[in-house]
Chain A
Amino acid sequence: MPTLEIRDLHVTVDEADGGTKEILRGVDLTIGSGEVHAVMGPNGSGKSTLAYSIAGHPKYTVTGGSITLDGEDVLAMSVDERARAGLFLAMQYPVEVPGVTVSNFLRTAKTAIDGEAPKLRTWVKDVKQAMDDLKMDPTFAERNVNEHFSGGEKKRHEILQMELLKPKFAVLDETDSGLDVDALKIVSEGVNRSLASTGPGVLLITHYTRILRYIKPQFVHVFVDGRVAEQGGPELADSLEETGYDRFLTRA
């Protein structure tokens, strides 16, 4: 079974004043395919840093530890190689790419990931179906990537990519933030469709438990101050809902 394994990961960022700051301080996580792991933690605890570090964002420097995908050294791969190896990051703040249409972007990405251009006819149908499922207007295909998209539209567009690119492991960074209840359901259904069809491992980063009503995690990790402070099953999320992160913070 494909496994994404993060061992004792230490990550720093360069600060404006020229210094460096350690943000991840020994993260351990193992995710099997088909599993949903929720990572919950307060603002600034390093959740996005973990997500970006898995994807290979150049701003983050890995100073220790390892990330492996089926034993392959992910840290040795470039950003695009990681994606082609089956990693996917749905970003907390998706980036606008002026002048590049969604349809061109999706086709280019699909071609890159599969190593060959998708068959035109089935591809057009698949895109249409996936957009339809996510209640995205067909006109989005001809709009520029994320340009003038609302927060919710950007998140749908991320999940659209997840459904079409069919990664082995997906990191969803606060995909629930900025979504109203209806949009939250639509987006969650998209993730569940992916789980049912291709069964990726999912690292679901969130602040609140509400998305966990629609996407059921088998594992919950509490993330505090750059590392996993506690882990458990779905019941851990419920207790967090009641007590918040305070008991972890005061202990830290």
Chain B
Amino acid sequence: MTAVDETTTDPAAGSPVNTARAHSHGAGVVPDASRAERVTSFDVADFAVPTGREEEWKFSPLRELAPLFEAAPAGSAAVEVSGPDAVVHRTGTLQEVGAGTAFTPGDRAAVTGWAATAQAHLVSVPAEAELDAPVLVAVRGTAGTTTSGHLVVEAGHHARALVVISHTGSGAHRGGVEVRVGDGADLTVVTLQEWDADAVHVGQHDVLVGRDARVRHIAVSLGGKAVRLSTNVRYAGPGGDAQALGVYFSDAGQHLEHRLFVDHEATNCKSYVEYKGALQGDGAHAVWIGDVLIRAAAEGTETYELNRNLVLTDGARADSVPNLEIETGEIVGAGHASATGRFDDEQLFYLQARGITPDEARRLVVRGFFASIVERIGVPEISERLMTTIETELAATDLAGTSSTEEN
């Protein structure tokens, strides 16, 4: 059975007032070249410094990211790892930690980051281990420095684990994350971008999903001047189930970019991508690229991807580009949706008609918007902290006049 569903509008955000001034790309435009042909390589020479004309860089603030394109040696970010005793943590060169079996740099920043990484980390969860507490990997950047890092997260077969990578501090950081999920394992990787306001960060996360394994990758980008995170999912065998979820809140002058690529080659695998973002303030920019490729061999694939943007003020811009390439008809289902809208005035009216103030009503709506993803992080303290950060960001800008419900 084949079901191809291309939805580009969303009833909750589809009214004319909701789409006003918010920029959004339409239906999934399949690029001329297949996504499969994009270069990946460990050799810096294979990637020129981007000029901004390249398809994959055209949305990015190259001036901010420039330090991350330099091939010069760089320091390592401060990394602290903690977790249950069963978890193995090793550091060493890329070779010493066995990096690169499920990760290949896919752009200039990723390859220069790889080349400059002197100290890499391995976090390994033994087969069949079921962790009762999360593994915490804290990456801290320092102002005025350019750093590189590579982290391998390995879950043995039938292991169950939650790994939270947090990014704080300042400076310019390139981070490679290589996630290897063993057969039948159940792994959640959360990456939190809670940088200081001046930090820049380009990251590449490659996730290899084992046979019948289940993996959840959750990206939360709130801080930083410019963050560009590429998450690539591949399947090592049939029956894998991958979810890539994300939330972001971009405020004035902040660029938050999330690029997803799910490459279906094995049979009977599932993928589900859902990213939700809010934007407010002048020059707030969010980019979401969702590429899904279903190769000819990937029969029985089921995939859905979704991006929603809530544009809270004028002067913010959301680019949302879903691409779906399907090379076989023998799939269970494939679809995508992308919607960019403003606050739903009817929702705000309903809440206010129950005595709730406009500020509180907006807070409830934004909280509700993000809740479905933030609550899936699995660490209540982290979910609560992120919600508080989101509410603080929301309160930081005077939203008066952005919604017609304000009048009277």
Contacts and interface: CB of A to CB of B under 8 A. Distances in A.
Nearest to B366: A99
Contact of B408 (A56, A83, A95, A165): A56
B355 A80 contact: yes
9 contacts: A58-B404, A79-B349, A82-B353, A89-B353, A96-B12, A97-B368, A108-B364, A109-B354, A113-B354
B364 A100 contact: yes
Contact of A83 (B354, B364, B369, B405): B354
A83 B353 contact: yes
Nearest to A94: B350
**Shortest 5 CB-CB contacts between residues of A and residues of B:** A99-B368, A109-B354, A112-B355, A83-B355, A79-B352
B358 A80 contact: yes
A98 interface: yes
B355 A144 contact: no
Interface of A: 55-58, 76-80, 82-84, 88-89, 91, 94-100, 104-105, 108-109, 112-113, 144-145, 161, 165
A80 B348 CA distance: 10
B357 interface: yes
A90 B407 CA distance: 22
B369 A99 contact: yes
**Among B350, B358, B365, residue most surrounded by chain A Cβ atoms (within 10 Å):** B350
Interface of B: 12, 344-347, 349-358, 360-361, 364-365, 367-372, 404-408
Contacts, number: 92
A117 to B, nearest CB: 13
B350 A113 contact: no
B356 A97 contact: no
Contacts of B358: 78, 80
Contacts of A76: 408
B355 A97 contact: no
Nearest to A161: B354
Contacts of B408: 56, 58, 76-79
Given A109-B354, A112-B354, A100 B360 contact: no
Contacts of A105: 351, 354, 364
A79 B359 CA distance: 13
A55 B351 CA distance: 12
B354 A57 contact: no
A94 B351 CA distance: 11
A99 B370 contact: yes
Given A80-B357, A113-B355, 18 more contacts: A58-B349, A58-B406, A58-B407, A77-B408, A79-B353, A80-B356, A83-B353, A83-B354, A94-B350, A96-B12, A99-B365, A99-B369, A100-B364, A100-B368, A105-B364, A108-B364, A109-B351, A165-B355
A15 to B, nearest CB: 13
Given A55-B353, A99-B371, A108 B405 contact: no
**Among B354, B358, B370, residue most surrounded by chain A Cβ atoms (within 10 Å):** B354
B151 to A, nearest CB: 32
A62 to B, nearest CB: 10
Contacts of A100: 364-365, 367-368
B331 to A, nearest CB: 27
Nearest to A57: B349
Nearest to B370: A99
A58 B345 contact: yes
A104 B361 CA distance: 12
Contacts of A104: 364
A244 to B, nearest CB: 32
A135 to B, nearest CB: 22
A193 B77 CA distance: 65
A80 B372 contact: no
A63 B183 CA distance: 69
Contacts of B354: 83, 105, 108-109, 112-113, 161, 165
Contacts of B364: 97, 100, 104-105, 108
A58 B347 CA distance: 12
A82 B408 CA distance: 11
